[in-house]
Amino acid sequence: MEYFPNVKKVNYEGPKSDSMFAFHHYNADEVVLGKSMKEHLRFAVAYWHTMTQDGSDPFGNPTNIRTWMGATPMETARNRVEAFFELLEKLGVEYFCFHDVDIAPEGNSLEEFFANIDEITDLIKEKMDKTGIKLLWNTANMFSNPVFVNGAASTNNADVFARAAAQVKKGLDVNKKLGGENYVFWGGREGYETLLNTDMGLEQDNIARLFKMAIAYSEKINHKVQFLLEPKPKEPSKHQYDFDAATTMAFIQKYGLEGHFKLNIEANHATLAGHTFEHELNVSRCYNALGSIDANQGDVLLGWDTDEFPTNLFDATLAMYEILENGGIAPGGINFDSKVRRSSFAMDDLIIAHVVGMDTFARGLKAAAKLKEDGFFDNLRADRYASYQSGIGASIVADKEDLESLSDYALKNNEIKMESSHIEYVKARLNDYLV
């Protein structure tokens, strides 16, 4: 059965195309700064939003028309694999990401759940072998099942901790089976509702314990994988421990996990934390810990994780600039942790929305490459920090000064010359790169 019969293959048709089923900017093999767009962008489709989201919201029933629903949960799961790989091939996307519960029904016991995962990952592996499509990352959903009501690794209930450990073990086995390049932990319920009954120290120690067990197990099964932590400040927990990139790095450093863990930065999580996407990417780079990104965008008027497909060119350009400065994103990628709006309920919207997201990042890449070629930010920053290039500034950054020597200098230096940043002009010139 063909699930997306209205499109055979999404091709690049250029900016003048008026087709919804064509790339207007993403041209996979076009070379930008010495690498093909495909290599730069390493796009991935997220199984959860694309295959399991039904369009319901707290006030409304499902709206999505999905032609893969079968007579049993396992039949649906098998159909989804077919439809998913058809979508990936038609889009020309080479990577994908999933949670354990996205691909296989949980059934009535953990044993049944794992048997279902085995059956479905056999199918997925067949498809991967046939198409060359690869696993960017998988993860264990340790937040939906009611047992995780008080957290997974941070739970007060040791039996629940063991259940989480079992899912992580299975996740790593699956990662090895499918040749995954990264493994993600997002701590949806690793946080607290109220401090009144919470032992924050123990909870964080236990989260680190689970991570260390995961590192040890991946070494034991001889499967080298890049572990990623995905910060988010809240939702579903009132307060999540991995609040933002800086908080998460403090955790990674406190527990000595630097060699194994990097960050998976999501745009909408950044904005929920009161930061811009590029801020979170930049913080990650400062720690040499930018691992991968979850591409989406929030809505400035809404205070939750709306996970919209990225269309904001300004944000995509600054994000791609950070990625270029990082020397690329591999072995991570750009995962569309994005869902179609409730009113985009047709099957074709799944193709269209990904085309739009890919085009947005392709334009962002091109603009960022031009900014880099012109030395736009390099020149701006070199000018702005010029006082550290010579004289007292050069001596400060060479660590040759102390409070006494600087006090002597300042006392003799009555006229401090100040310079305007002309920031409005800078923003206007940046606009020139976007259009």
Among 25, 189, 232, 279, binds ligand XLS (CB under 6 A): 232
**Residue numbers 274-333 binding Ni ion by CB under 5 A:** 294, 305
Residue type, 288: N
Asked if residue 139 binds ligand XLS (CB under 6 A), the reply is yes
Question: Of these residues, 102, 244, 305, 307, which one is catalytic?
Answer: 102
Q: Which amino acid is at 138?
A: N
By CB under 6 A, residue 266 contacts ligand XLS:
yes
Task: Read off the tokens for 45.
Answer: 């489709």
Beta bridge partners of residue 166, listed in sequence order: none
Residue 244's CB: how many other CB atoms inside 10 A?
22
Minimum distance between the CB of residue 46 and ligand XLS, rounded to whole angstroms?
7
**Per-residue H/E/C for 261-317:** EEEEEEHHHHHHCCCCHHHHHHHHHHCCCEEEEEECECCCCCCCCCCECCCCHHHHH
Annotated catalytic residue 102: yes
Those residues with Cβ within 8 angstroms of residue 125's Cβ, 6 or more apart along the chain or in another chain: 177, 178
Q: Shortest distance, CB of residue 174 to ligand XLS, whole angstroms?
A: 15
- Paired with 44 in beta bridges are 95, 335
Report the C-alpha gap between 90 and 4 in whole angstroms: 9
Among 266, 308, 322, 349, indicate the residue that binds Ni ion (CB under 5 A). 266
Residues 21-60, one symbol each (x = binds ligand XLS by CB under 6 A, - = not), give ----------------------------------------
The least distance separating Ni ion from the CB of residue 95, rounded to whole angstroms, comes to 14
User: Residue holding tokens 């920090």?
Assistant: 385
99 is catalytic: yes
Name the residue type at position 27. Answer: N
Q: Name the residue nearer to ligand XLS (CB basis): 306 or 344.
A: 306
Give the total of residues touching ligand XLS (CB under 6 A): 10
Q: Per rule CB under 6 A, is residue 278 in the interface with ligand XLS? A: no
Q: How far apart are CA 234 and CA 345, in angstroms?
A: 28
CB of 164 to ligand XLS, least distance (A): 13
Smallest CA-to-CA distance from 234 within 220, 225, 244 is with 244
Retrieve residue 250's tokens. Answer: 């403090």
Out of ligand XLS, Ni ion, none, what residue 139 binds, judged by CB under 5 to 8 A for its kind, is ligand XLS
Question: Least distance from C-beta 235 to Ni ion, angstroms?
Answer: 8
Nearer to ligand XLS, 101 or 323 (CB): 101
**Which residues contact Ni ion (rule: CB under 5 A)?**
266, 294, 305, 337
Site of interaction with ligand XLS (CB under 6 A): 99, 139, 184, 186, 230, 232, 266, 294, 305, 337
